[in-house]
Amino acid sequence: MRSSALMMCLVAAAGCGPVELGEDDPGDPNLTGSSGDVELADADEVASTEDALSHCFCRSPFACGHSSSPSFMFSAAHAALVRAGISDGLLIQTFGDAAASVGTHCPEPGTTKSAATDIVSGSAPCTRTRALRMQGFAAWYRVPPSFGRHIHAVYAGAPVLKSSLQSQVSSFLSGRNGLVSNAIDTVCPITTAEKNAVRAARDGTPPNGGGCVPGGYYCGTDKVSGDRNTLYKCNADQTATKVRACSHGCSINAGTDDSCRCVAGSNYCGGDVINGNSSTLYKCDSDGVGASVVRSCANGCAVVPGAEDHCK
């Protein structure tokens, strides 16, 4: 019932009721008295009273407006959206004053951008939701009966957030659903890595505190947290993924990728101890750090635990 009102408003937000001139209250963010399936502190998408349903919440010139244009997103939020693999065509709402949203999607105070974005959920909704989270969005997959299916995403790294969105981000960081019920999110349960990515976006610090360069290789403690003798690859959001434990130690190399140390003069397939193509045989340089190509292996390269690797 309310979700149908939601969809109407999303599609034709400009028609969601008259502005109540003289009504200065931007909308009590602490809506109460509803079933609990209401966005925390501002009832994203679902108004709880008839009064709210006839009310526009955004300030002029945004009152009762609606857009799905990326121009209403903060540039950092849009860049994060792109990194999450989401195209502009999947945007449902980048700012909107649908009465049922009770102000959630209005521009942030003093700006013309909203940090809250609604996105098409698609055929793999949790995958898409998780991709957004890893890029710094407090994101939830909203489902019937309380909502029409969509992803509600709040960019935690926005330069300014209305208090209701700050509350939603806080709810996310405790694994909760951002609704008035503030229950644990069981639709796409929130992982520790997702919380870390959102917290890092909010705080403006990379999750590992070191500012690694995405795509680069690092020993733990060198711009990524982790074990000193393990090699990691820096992700787009500056989290780090383990590549391999270094049995001969990890070398921090100035001006280039860090690498696992190798045994001088020994042969290795790429990816076994040393970085490189898995079908190429390399020889460890005399410094135990660098490696040179021996040959490309036409039939592949055989990794031999405890002995030298060789071409098949």
Which residues of the chain form contacts with Zn ion (CB under 5 A)? 44, 118, 152
Residue nearest to Zn ion (CB): 152
Backbone phi and psi for residue 36, each to the nearest 5 degrees, phi listed first: 105, -20
Q: Residue 31's CB: how many other CB atoms inside 10 A?
A: 21
Closer by beta carbon to Zn ion, 37 or else 44: 44
Q: Minimal distance in Å, beta carbon 31 to Zn ion?
A: 15
Q: 57 or 232: whose CB is closer to Zn ion?
A: 57
> For residues 44 and 194, which CB has a smaller minimum distance to Zn ion in the complex?
44
Q: Which two structure tokens, joined as six digits, stand for 185?
A: 């999110």
Question: Closest approach of Cβ 142 to Zn ion, in Å?
Answer: 7
Strand partners for 95:
67
- In the complex, minimum distance from the CB of residue 100 to Zn ion, in angstroms, rounded to a whole number: 10
Q: Which is nearer to Zn ion, 30 or 278 (CB)?
A: 30
Rank residues 39 and 222 by Cβ distance to Zn ion and give the closer one. 39
Q: How far is the CB of 174 from Zn ion (least distance, A)?
A: 20
Q: Following CA atoms 223, 229, 235, 241 in sequence, which dihedral angle do they give, to the nearest 10 degrees?
A: -150
Place of tokens 């974005």: 117
CB 38 within 8 A of CB 46: yes
247/99 Cα distance (integer angstroms):
61
**Cis peptide preceding 61, ω within 30 of 0:** yes
CB of residue 127 vs Zn ion: minimum separation in angstroms? 19
Minimal distance, residue 195 CB to Zn ion, in Å: 20
Q: How far is CA 158 from CA 59, 77, 155, in A?
A: 19, 7, 6
Distance in Å, CB of 177 to Zn ion, minimum: 13
3-state secondary structure of 194: helix
Q: Between residues 53 and 289, which has the closer beta carbon with respect to Zn ion?
A: 53
Please, which residue, 142 or 223, has the CB nearer to Zn ion? 142
Which helix (H) or strand (E) covers residue 172, if one does? helix 163-173
Q: Cα–Cα distance between 21 and 280 in angstroms, integer?
A: 73
SS3 140: strand
